[in-house]
Structure 1
Amino acid sequence: MPVADRTDEVLDAAYTCLTRYGARRTTMDDIAREMGVSRSALYQYVRNKDHALRLLAGRLHEQALARAREAAASRDPVADRVHGVLEAKLDLVLDLAGDSPHTAELLDAEARLFGDVCADFTARLRTLLTALLREAAIDEPEDAADLCIALVGGLEDRARAKPLLGRATAALVTGLAAVPASRTPPAS
């Protein structure tokens, strides 16, 4: 009889431990205890703590990316769709930062364990945004997508980030649509 896949339970337990102890101090024993299984049972699902945390980072980023894709695929006006994509990224950051100072470690693009997960997430968001902005006939959509991502990055530690995101996205998309490429100042 096959063993039931309990990977989601493992990742939920890993997240709980991460909120308490941080990545360095969390152990496989902590995760097993939180899950209510033996440490040896935990090894059926993950190779080690680093593997569990990497899978956790991947799951959280994939969930945010799914929300971003859903927003991008809606029939809303482009500005609202761009807002939805950016909101998915901002929500990921705000949710993790709100749960514990330790959970923000899952967002560190320089982290050894999951930096590539973060970088891949940002690259995929950029691709999604570029397509939306190209659809809206925005000149230089790749650069415009970078501006959108930078906008979210600038709001991530602001107290009123969510309400500011809506206004900032609307202003950015309106401004991008109004400025023809020939009026764009040269890069310095």
Structure 2
Amino acid sequence: MSTPASSVTSTSAADPRSQAILAAGFEAFRRYGYRRTSMEDIAQEAGMSRAALYLHYRNKQDIFRSLVQGYFEQTEQRMQAVLSSGVKPKAALLAAFSAKLGPEMEALLNSAHGAELLDANFSAAGDIVATGEARLIAILADWLRREAEAKRITLAAGDGDAEALAATMIAALGGLKAPGVSFDGLRASAQRLALLFARGLKA
């Protein structure tokens, strides 16, 4: 079973050394927060010199952005898998919303610096977040269209616009990440949200 750090780095880094650095960065950010983490902290966590670390990444923002990229790559794969599994719409939505959270989000929110790291997602990697969420919206919209064509759901609540409905779902899910929320609280709210949307989609 992979750790959250190995999960978030598995597709964002091509070579083992880069993966090790990203895993070290993930742990350092969880331990110290984004602002307090230094390249020296990450180098020590990775078991290398700071000079060696700079051969791979320019600064801590570069490492953080790579971690956010890895998170979205993993989330995209998880969401694709659950929405292609053929399960009933309610179960599919529950699984898809759970896939959006993932072990990475659990590890982040269970750290002492979860709120700061969520803020850093938008200040240091806002463009990556926007691109990643657009891909998730496309995956969800494609599933909505397939299910509607098969008469398993109705898109009437979204005026037949699968893309707009998918965007609303992703925005609503993101809006659950309120300051101070625990991962357990977030997961419970995400499940309630999935059930609410499933009820609205029921054919």
Q: Same fold (TM over 0.5)?
A: yes
| Post-superposition CA distance 1:9-39 (Å, at most 9, x none) | 1011111211222222222111111111111
* Structure 2 counterpart of 1:49: 60
Which residue identity is paired with 1:166?
A: Q
What SS is found at the alignment partner of 2:113? coil
Structure having the higher Rg: 1
Task: Provide the rounded CA distance (Å) in 1 between the counterparts of 2:121 and 2:48.
Answer: 32
> Taking structure 1 as the reference length, what is the TM-score of the superposition?
0.79
The answer as to 2:107 corresponding to 1:80 is no
What SS is found at the alignment partner of 2:122? coil
Q: Which runs of 5+ in 1 are unaligned?
A: 179-188
Task: Provide the rounded CA distance (Å) in 2 between the counterparts of 1:76 and 1:107.
Answer: 35
Q: Considering only aligned residues, what root-mean-square deviation do their CA atoms show, in Å? A: 2.4
Count matched residues.
174
Q: Which runs of 5+ in 2 are unaligned?
A: 1-14, 149-154
Runs of 4+ in 1 over 6 A off after TM superposition: none
| Post-superposition CA distance 1:36-89 (Å, at most 9, x none) | 111111123222222111112211222222211111121212332222222122
User: Residues 35 and 110 of structure 1: is their aligned pair in 2 closer, same or farther, counting only changes over 3 Å?
Assistant: closer
Query: Is the CA contact 1:107–1:118 (under 8 Å) kept in the aligned structure 2?
Result: no
Which has the bigger relative contact order, CA under 8 A and spacing at least 6? 2
Identity %: 32
Task: Map 1:36-185 to 2 at 5 A.
Answer: 36-91=47-102, 92-102=104-114, 105-106=117-118, 108=120, 110-111=122-123, 113-137=124-148, 138=155, 139-157=160-178, 160-178=185-203
Query: Is the CA contact 2:34–2:116 (under 8 Å) kept in the aligned structure 1?
Result: no
Deviation at 1:106, TM superposition (A): 5.0
